[in-house]
Amino acid sequence: MKIETIAIHAGNVNDEGTGAVIQPITMSTTFLREADGSYPSEYIYSRSANPNRTQLENVLAKLENGVDAAAFSSGNAAGMTVFQSLKPGTHVICPDDMYHGLRNQLKTLFAGILEFDFIDVNDATVLEARIRPNTGLIWLETPSNPLLKITDIEKVASIAKERDIKVAVDNTFATPVCQQPLALGADLVMHSSTKYFGGHSDLMGGALITPEKNDWWTKIRQIQEMGGAIPSPMDCYYLVRSLKTLPYRVKGHVHNAQLLAEHLENHPKIESVMYPGLQSHPQHEIAKKQMQYFGGMLSFCVKGGAEDARRVISKLQLFTIATSLGGVETLIEHRASVEGPDTKTPHNLLRVSVGLEHIDDLIADIEQALE
């Protein structure tokens, strides 16, 4: 089945009791047990499993072409589960451009527990030179946040496989509509469901998807259940509902992002535009090879400094000034000031989560703001 069909059907079961076409929300935290100690349904207690979470995990696994998925209460909880699943002392290689929340998590919560390096993972020479005997995981994020750098997943996976190192990919920016890392050799996919999966800036969630049920996956499931960073039945319900329109929403985001990127690239007040769908993007060829679409995120640098960038956003009427991404409304932010003092992000950079408004209205707004 194609992804549009999976998105609609894989997460739904008709309710046998009532005939409801849409699966009901099961708020119950606990499930009936027989006097003999057995459980008549597969459910026991909602931290371990809940019908709405099962349905969400089914659709997530199928969307990424995996065999199983685990849903979490946030993207960071999903990321933390991956890092907690590693043996203390494991060396982790991460990209130099990485979601700052997970970079800070590693540096703060995992200091002294794991070893890590932040490098240009796309440079095979650098990557191979940094691999140590205790390297257990290469973490990838492509397109990256906020520079939209592209990493060749297949190339990194083949380097890792030779040395028995696992590769996990944060696929939040791309979504499985644009890119399917498991098919390119990744061992695990991670998502912040808060972004395109939820799609309406109104719920938080995270996910991990595996291509096989191996020992690593057993450990991840244990952390999910014993750690308990699980999404509520309500959030699972809303996510299953939102995922039904994911393919069409993403295609709309992609359409607008490509047109906005092309428009901004020719603008005299703009220094550079970072979007993998542009010919001028330094890794455009890799993006073409591994992505079906180029995603809905772009960044651009205004000519001048931080003040010039802030002046542009202060004049925007339609673009909402806020962090986060993946919602139907266009969001713009001055990324360096969100990331804090140790940021390497240029101070004239603005990051845009291109929404589903009409592209003409978006272009008109940015035109007047740049005047």
Ligand X SMILES: *Cc1c(COP(=O)(O)O)cnc(C)c1O
HEC profile for the chain?
A: CCHHHHHHHCCCCCCCCCCCCCCCCCCCCECCCCCCCCCCCCCCECCCCCHHHHHHHHHHHHHCCCCEEEEECCHHHHHHHHHHCCCCCCEEEEECCCCHHHHHHHHHHCECCEEEEEECCCCHHHHHHHCCCCEEEEEEECCCCCCCCCCCHHHHHHHHHHCCCEEEEECCCCHHHHCCHHHHCCCEEEEECCCCCCCCCCCCCEEEEECCCCHHHHHHHHHHHHHCCCCCHHHHHHHHHHHCCHHHHHHHHHHHHHHHHHHHHCCCCEEEEECCCCCCCCCHHHHHHHCCCCCCEEEEEECCCHHHHHHHHHHCCCCEECCCCCCCCCEEEEHHHHHCCCCCCCCCEEEEECCCCCHHHHHHHHHHHHC
Among 53, 103, 155, 195, the active-site one is: 195
Binding mask 201-240 for ligand X (x = CB under 6 A): ---x-x----------------------------------
From CA 222, how far away is CA 216, in angstroms rounded?
10
- Work out how close the CB of 323 gets to ligand X at its nearest, in angstroms, rounded to a whole number: 9
Q: Which of 170, 365 has the CB closer to ligand X?
A: 170
Q: Which of 184, 207 has the CB closer to ligand X?
A: 207
Which stretch, 45-53, 68-76, 179-187, 358-366, contacts ligand X (CB under 6 A)?
68-76
Which stretch, 125-133, 189-197, 207-215, 330-338, contacts ligand X (CB under 6 A)?
189-197
- Work out how close the CB of 344 gets to ligand X at its nearest, in angstroms, rounded to a whole number: 16
Q: 57, 10 in Cβ contact below 8 A? A: no
- Work out how close the CB of 156 gets to ligand X at its nearest, in angstroms, rounded to a whole number: 17
The answer to whether residue 74 forms part of the interface with ligand X (CB under 6 A) is: yes
In the set 102, 114, 121, 309, which binds ligand X (CB under 6 A)? 102
From CA 83, how far away is CA 135, in angstroms rounded?
13
From CA 351, how far away is CA 278, in angstroms rounded?
16
Q: Which of 150, 369 has the CB closer to ligand X?
A: 150
Q: Is 47 a catalytic residue?
A: yes
339 strand-pairing partners = none
Q: Which of 31, 99 has the CB closer to ligand X?
A: 99
Q: Which of residues 123-142 bind ligand X (CB under 6 A)?
A: 141
- Work out how close the CB of 32 gets to ligand X at its nearest, in angstroms, rounded to a whole number: 34
In the set 50, 135, 145, 256, which binds ligand X (CB under 6 A)? 145
- Work out how close the CB of 18 gets to ligand X at its nearest, in angstroms, rounded to a whole number: 33
Among 53, 97, 166, 170, the active-site one is: 170
Among 62, 97, 99, 149, the active-site one is: 99
Q: Is 195 a catalytic residue?
A: yes
The answer to whether residue 151 forms part of the interface with ligand X (CB under 6 A) is: no
Residue (of 132, 125, 178) closest to 156 by Cα position:
125
Q: Which of 101, 304 has the CB closer to ligand X?
A: 101
- Work out how close the CB of 144 gets to ligand X at its nearest, in angstroms, rounded to a whole number: 8
Cis peptide before 233 (omega within 30 of 0): no
Binding mask 82-101 for ligand X (x = CB under 6 A): -----------------x-x
Binding mask 159-188 for ligand X (x = CB under 6 A): -----------x-xx---------------
Q: Is 170 a catalytic residue?
A: yes
Q: Which of 58, 73 has the CB closer to ligand X?
A: 73
Q: Which of 194, 290 has the CB closer to ligand X?
A: 194
Q: Is 99 a catalytic residue?
A: yes
Within a 10 A sphere around the Cβ of 234, how many other Cβ atoms? 12
Query: Hey, which residues are catalytic here?
Result: 47, 99, 170, 195
Query: Residues in the site for ligand X, rule: CB under 6 A?
Result: 74-76, 99, 101-102, 141, 145, 170, 172-173, 192, 194-195, 204, 206
